[in-house]
Structure 1
């Protein structure tokens, strides 16, 4: 809410708080036919009820006090003005469902139930059996509706926490990628630039001694600088979010160019996986395929994706020489494990007649419901 601007109801609830004000016209209609103090007291209390309804949307620590006052207004109006005003109980029934603590929720629900049945007991002799049966179904709805409201609010809170968790994961992914790029620049590009510097110094010395060798070294500098430019482009392209489908196409091209037969099995769409999960899995797949090309000396590489309820499993298996047991964390495997930790994933490695990487990632499916009502 902007400073100095009065907000009647919180904007996040939309039009619903205003819509349910329509139900205040019926109590106003009943009060209209009263005379004397009942007429004035009735409208004053109805106005007070309206204030409590508004305040309950904003109340923090005073929430319980406003709720008790609202229930008291309903109790007084239904006892001394008109028994039909008892239906205003749907309003406090809604707000009771906002309690997160079980003890407070059930305490409020019991007290509310007592306040609802009290007017019926007092006016019992004035009600005919048909009128009594008319009230009972609505009273039962009042008493059970807080459970539904509480369940809906709990679900919305869980979704809010999940959104916050996804935002934190995104920040962690960005931070991890910045660290990875910094490591790549230091390990790869830094070495290349150092090489260019040394060769440049050598060319300067050779210009007066061996012109042909100086030309050769100059061409080497050009080749090395082009390689550095290519590395920078690769680092920049890595920052773009990619899907599993796109990475599989790239993996197929890389493997075929290296003379390694590529076989794939499974559904690459992964519709239940978020963009963050797909991006991290794509980077892990790229690292794994790069390892196969550079280190495995394999003739075949098989990739399979299995999407079960609640998890995704990706298998990358080759028929190469296997993994060096003295270097289990080498060849980028540590980077894969670190990325998977960001999404609670795991990496299992087996080395028998080649190497097999098994990546497992949990998937949380979100179902959203629109609308908030009283």
Structure 2
């Protein structure tokens, strides 16, 4: 297909073509001239139109200023040596002066605009070529011409800000997608990691007991089925993102998981966590689940104890086991690193130490909810 011929860049639309209509006025005025003066006049008009076209094509380039100077020079010559009415061509460069983004360049171009608009008026008046009444009739248009660059510059600033905002929104969307992928990866790890580890241990145990203890084998197989169904339910909840997990629910789940892994469980602390926001509870629950997953996978422990202490300004959760703990080089693997990242979201902290086993301590600051009484906060 043949490409459509365009005089002006397509991004400016039909607007540049509309302004060309205003060159009809100087074209008709030059018909009153004769000889060399008329020829020079038409030559300058062609140069003016060419500069007008090149200004649209050179926006943001160094040549933009040269074409603007050329257009202003044509207007100055017209207004001084032909007729003061040619000063109305000043509406052309006023738009382009507003294209300058840098304040210094804008100020210079604006000063040049003031000169080509005011100097011809003063010159023609001093030469008695125009009357004071004629100058006053031109004055409103001069004011509009001098104000226009600021309006154009403001418009381009707004467009630039809107473009930057659109780019920022795109970056936010991309970062949100990336964060969502990381969140899903963490949730899958936290949700399925301990269950799959438990199923692996159970399957190994069944292999050893299959011949010697059939009844125990059936019991372990039944527990495997229960654990796999629980994991399937958790995956469905994760994918649908239907609800968050409370601390109370997670403690029940932890007790079940540890019992299935032949690890005794002891809990000390509060039973009411209603004052803690659902988001904070969900993050704490996932961190507790990760800590218990590490106990099942690495510690070879026989006992696990969780203590939750609530103070006026913070909550402290301590998870202990009597196992061998993880090696020093693996103490902060993907699981614990994920816990740290989650706790950062609620300005919490994590410490891991060895003391007759592994001790994982979570510290979470608490924000008191204010309530309104009699129109004031309490």
User: TM over 0.5, yes or no?
Assistant: yes
What is the match of residue 111 of structure 2?
Answer: 110
Q: Is 1:219 equivalent to 2:222 in the alignment?
A: yes
Aligned partner of residue 178 in structure 1, secondary structure? helix
Report matched runs for 1:199-218 at 5 Å: 199-218=202-221
- Aligned length in residues: 288
Q: Which has the higher contact order (CA 8 A, sep 6+)?
A: 1
What is the match of residue 307 of structure 2?
Answer: none
Q: Which runs of 5+ in 2 are unaligned?
A: 251-270, 288-309, 320-338, 349-363, 371-378
Mapped to 2, the partners of 1:16 and 1:337 lie a distance apart of 54
Q: Which runs of 5+ in 1 are unaligned?
A: 239-246, 264-284, 296-319, 339-348, 359-374
The CA RMSD measured in Å over matched residues stands at 3.9
**Among candidates 173, 176, 179, match of residue 170 of structure 1:** 173
Aligned partner of residue 224 in structure 2, secondary structure? helix
Shift of the 51–226 alpha-carbon distance from structure 1 to 2, 3 Å rule, reads farther
The C-alpha deviation readout for 1:93-130, integer Å capped at 9, x for no partner, is: 11111222222211111122111123223322121222
**Which TM-score applies when normalising by structure 1?**
0.64
1:229 CA displacement: 2.7
What is the match of residue 241 of structure 1?
Answer: none
Mapped to 2, the partners of 1:86 and 1:200 lie a distance apart of 93
Deviating more after overlay: 54-63 vs 212-221: 212-221
**Which TM-score applies when normalising by structure 2?**
0.64
Report matched runs for 1:272-291 at 5 Å: 287-290=279-282
What is the match of residue 74 of structure 1?
Answer: 75
User: In the alignment, is the contact (CA less than 8 A) between 1:350 and 1:357 conserved in 2?
Assistant: no
The C-alpha deviation readout for 1:173-198, integer Å capped at 9, x for no partner, is: 22223223323333332222222222
1:331 CA displacement: 10
What is the match of residue 315 of structure 2?
Answer: 323
What is the match of residue 18 of structure 1?
Answer: 17
The C-alpha deviation readout for 1:36-74, integer Å capped at 9, x for no partner, is: 233333333222222222222231121111110111122
Report matched runs for 1:40-189 at 5 Å: 40-59=39-58, 60-124=61-125, 125-189=128-192
The C-alpha deviation readout for 1:251-306, integer Å capped at 9, x for no partner, is: 7x98999998989xxxxxxxxxxxxxxxxxxxxx75225368899xxxxxxxxxxx
**Among candidates 340, 344, 360, match of residue 334 of structure 1:** 344
Specify the structure having the higher radius of gyration (Cα). Answer: 2
User: In the alignment, is the contact (CA less than 8 A) between 1:97 and 1:149 conserved in 2?
Assistant: yes
